[in-house]
A and B are shown apart, each in its own frame.
Chain A
């Protein structure tokens, strides 16, 4: 089988449609994971065990089961319970929840790295718990975590082909349908690999920059 440049040019627009969806799913999934992780981390710190224990259980459950199973559950099982989601929305929620349980650990470590004296000083300044979180703790905890969070978002990006299993027309899905339709695999699948590689490399360069910028505090 020979590499056919004419075929490459013919399928490129369709694949780029897929790239757009892949990037969109990654960005939205990252936002969901960033928020979900923060909520998990804060709730798990609660002194009220009736709150922190169930959250811990849910987080461990999500982390302990495969993303693919979760995607199937969200997209194919939830409709039976009355919740029907579009493929992309289901995919973004799946990615976000799954990676949220990982980013929660990043937040936990980052929050624990803030000196205990900062909580005490905030209390002595009579700040409310909300003000303490938003003005004192998170502004110190977040910058050092940015590289670790970005790492997970790159990992999430490389897992987006799983969304093809729930019919999201992302890059992998587009490539596969092109391949199935034309009985040619070499160009579409190679191009998928190349797209992922290029975007990953760009992301890693960005990550290095973030590490230099935010890797240390003070």
Chain B
């Protein structure tokens, strides 16, 4: 659990984002404490994935501010004021953040171990031997040390996703973003990925943001749940409150639908 009054790791202040005329995020604000495990839930199109993509700088914002450990993500200090961040600033900020994608996005032309060692070697100048030693530790942790020499095409979806997690961990980010990491998996492969997330939770002190439709996992895993609808936070609270005693009608309807669709809460 995160200490209640520590300086936030992530501070989001009134950000808005539109795709054309569709407003995905509407004056959104929230904070994430150090080491907090935060689950973002809500119907599709509610903006939860967009938040992760904005934090990873895959999408920009139209207005508002995001602070990562006190540093402005999309603006940089210049002549006493702030101006839009350049590539250099974004590069520096991205060292604090890692992301795991719904569709894994492994590099198909690289072996498993090369997927994991590539970024540390290219972005941090880590030597190959050292990068490989660290990569083997990470692959060990996700249970895939024996697949180090395999190509991604030879792996199952669950294995690919565990490699993708190892790849993101290789850069030792302080913040990890998980974007529906089990949604593309066959049901019998979901468990092995969730188990890895549990291990990360127990063995690291990363701040973790998780967009998920696995309500049971969100309930057990998260310190706090944010329920999104139409680009706003409709309700937030501890898992127990959100899942057992949702206050907002919108949350209640959503959870009913999810349960009707066969998800365990």
Contacts and interface: CB of A to CB of B under 8 A. Distances in A.
Interface of A: 115, 117-118, 120-121, 123-129, 131, 135-136, 139-140, 217-218
B123 A140 contact: no
Given A121-B101, A125-B167, A136 B123 contact: no
Contacts of A115: 105
Contact of B94 (A126, A129, A140): A126
Interface of B: 56-58, 87, 91, 94-95, 97-99, 101, 103-109, 118-119, 122-123, 153, 167-168, 171
B58 A127 contact: no
Contacts of A120: 56, 58, 101, 105
A125 B108 contact: no
Which of A121, A123, A217 has its CB near the most chain B CB atoms (within 10 A)? A121
A139 B111 CA distance: 13
Contacts of B56: 120, 123-124
B108 A135 contact: no
Nearest to A118: B105
A123 B57 contact: yes
Contacts of B104: 117
A121 B118 contact: no
Chain A facing B: main interface SS: helix
Contact of A135 (B58, B87, B95, B118): B118
A127 B168 contact: no
Given A124-B101, A127-B123, A139-B109, 6 more contacts: A120-B58, A124-B98, A124-B105, A125-B118, A125-B167, A127-B119
By Cβ-Cβ distance, the 8 closest A-B pairs, closest first, are: A125-B119, A121-B105, A117-B105, A124-B99, A126-B94, A126-B123, A218-B153, A139-B109
